[in-house]
């Protein structure tokens, strides 16, 4: 019996994971990519932004140590851009080599479905047994910004600015907006961060958001919540934004980070019989679409816009095609923010437990009590654990704001996956002095 042919559309984290998983399971794999290998994450998202953010974080740490160190602190933007480009190129080349080693055929071009088992790629027909759509997403611009599309910045274009702007208005206080606001403020820009909801990071734990906002404002980064841009104009010296509050804000550059939209409309999915819903591709718990032979993973299905969520979905989808019944659980996906302090969480929102009638209790440990955090000059924030309010209660979720939160959160991600109780996690021996021993301290409260 011949190997099944799995077609993958898109080579971002979801497409990459799908191609690798299918190849490992013995499938013949064809991957179609219209742009650069690695998708948005590698070329215009996660990786380049973290290269820049790491430089900002190191600069912040060095400034924090200024009381007992000498030296001039500045960033060579052109050299940082070279470093970013070199890292991207190296990782992209590595991905290409790995796919070739696995026997994955890479086709450059746009895929468009003819039917449930055929796509066109550059005019040629490619038949498949199963397809995984991982086409990603694109930045979204609400009014009044579309008319200024060529002049304003989005999360793609901001990564390649020729120089650091003197002033920057960041529209959108979600993860991406917070990260870029934090970065450019540290690099010397005068930054205003605008969010239409009542606070930053809508949906995240309010105590964690409060710590982050206070840290921003303490450093001089202005946060304006509960407001939107009603009118925008451009002069030779920069932009003027009229807010819904009536205030006028001036900035050299405007960066809009208010979300992304699935890139599903030009794939011809309707010709394959796939149902679309408000631009996204609805899927079940196995990531299968309305058509048995077609799966959709990552941004295109609208469940989560996180790279690691896309990869997890892709593995679930491929495994399901090969007969496994393991489902995808979005509550196990860590959510990470690479500001300083960092913010990370895992598990369902607390409001979800209340809606389900689950009684909970929360326990906290503040990094001000951590010798390691004090030694590192990073004592802002806390570790918070949410558990069932009963003896031997299960761990339900966790939130961390503070140093290395994006690394520490994986202790809780592992514990949630293993359905550990609070007592079981507390019995783990944590080294001293470390940041992670704060987990045991929180569970001892």
**For tokens 């479905």, what's the residue?**
113
98 noted as active-site residue = no
> How far apart (Å, rounded) are the C-alpha atoms in residues 169 and 181?
8
> How far apart (Å, rounded) are the C-alpha atoms in residues 159 and 88?
12
**Nearest alpha carbon to residue 256 among 169, 364, 347, 131:** 169
Tokens of residue 350, six digits = 């607390």
Contacts (Cβ under 8 Å, ≥6 apart) of 372: 433, 434, 435, 437
Tokens of residue 78, six digits = 């052109």
Q: Per DSSP, what are the bridge partners of residue 386?
A: 362, 397
Long-range contacts of 431-436 (CB under 8 A, 24+ apart): 433/370, 433/371, 433/372, 433/375, 434/372, 435/367, 435/370, 435/372, 435/373, 435/402, 435/403, 435/404, 435/408, 436/408, 436/411
**Is the omega angle on the peptide bond into residue 433 within 30 degrees of 0, that is, cis?**
yes
Among 5, 185, 308, 432, the active-site one is: 432
Decide if 130 contacts 297 (C-beta within 8 A): no
Q: Per DSSP, what are the bridge partners of residue 193?
A: 170, 223
> How far apart (Å, rounded) are the C-alpha atoms in residues 133 and 95?
19
Q: Which residues are catalytic?
A: 432
């Amino acid at each position: 019996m011949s190997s099944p042919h799995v077609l993958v559309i898109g080579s971002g984290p979801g497409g990459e994971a799908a191609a690798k998983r299918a190849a490992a399971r013995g499938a013949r794999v064809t991957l179609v990519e219209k742009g650069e290998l690695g998708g948005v994450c590698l070329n215009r998202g996660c990786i380049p932004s973290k290269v820049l953010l790491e430089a900002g974080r190191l600069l912040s740490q060095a400034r924090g140590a200024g009381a007992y160190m000498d030296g001039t602190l500045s960033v060579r933007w052109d050299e940082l851009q070279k470093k970013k480009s070199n890292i991207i190129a190296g990782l992209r080349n590595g991905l290409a080599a790995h796919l070739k080693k696995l026997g994955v055929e890479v086709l450059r071009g746009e895929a468009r479905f003819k039917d449930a088992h055929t796509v066109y790629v550059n005019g040629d027909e490619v038949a498949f047994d199963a397809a995984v759509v991982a086409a990603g997403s694109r930045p979204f611009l609400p009014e009044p910004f579309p008319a200024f599309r060529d002049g304003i910045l989005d999360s793609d274009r901001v990564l390649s600015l020729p120089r650091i702007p003197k002033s920057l208005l960041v529209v959108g206080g979600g993860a991406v907006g917070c990260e870029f606001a934090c970065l450019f403020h540290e690099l010397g820009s005068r930054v205003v961060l605008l969010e239409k909801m009542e606070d930053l990071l809508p949906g995240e734990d309010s105590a964690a958001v409060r710590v982050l906002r206070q840290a921003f404002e303490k450093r001089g980064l202005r946060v304006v919540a509960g407001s939107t841009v009603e009118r925008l104009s451009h002069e030779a010296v920069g932009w003027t934004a009229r807010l819904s509050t009536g205030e006028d804000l001036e900035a050299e550059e405007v960066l809009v980070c208010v979300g992304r939209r699935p890139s599903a409309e030009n794939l011809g999915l309707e010709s394959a019989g796939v149902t679309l819903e408000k631009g996204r591709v609805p899927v079940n718990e196995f990531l299968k679409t309305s058509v048995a032979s077609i799966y959709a993973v990552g941004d295109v299905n609208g469940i989560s816009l996180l790279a690691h969520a896309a990869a997890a979905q892709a593995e679930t989808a491929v495994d399901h095609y090969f007969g496994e019944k393991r489902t995808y659980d979005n509550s196990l996906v860590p959510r990470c923010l690479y500001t300083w302090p960092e913010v990370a969480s895992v598990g369902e929102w607390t409001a979800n437990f209340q809606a389900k009638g689950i009684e909970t209790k929360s326990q906290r440990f503040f990094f001000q009590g951590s010798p390691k955090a004090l030694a590192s000059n990073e004592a802002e924030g806390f570790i918070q654990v949410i558990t069932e309010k009963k003896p031997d209660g299960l761990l339900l979720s966790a939130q961390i704001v503070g140093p290395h939160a994006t690394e520490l959160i994986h202790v809780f991600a592992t514990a949630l996956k293993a359905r550990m109780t609070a007592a079981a996690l507390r019995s783990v021996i944590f080294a001293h002095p470390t940041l992670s021993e704060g987990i045991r301290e929180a569970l001892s409260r």
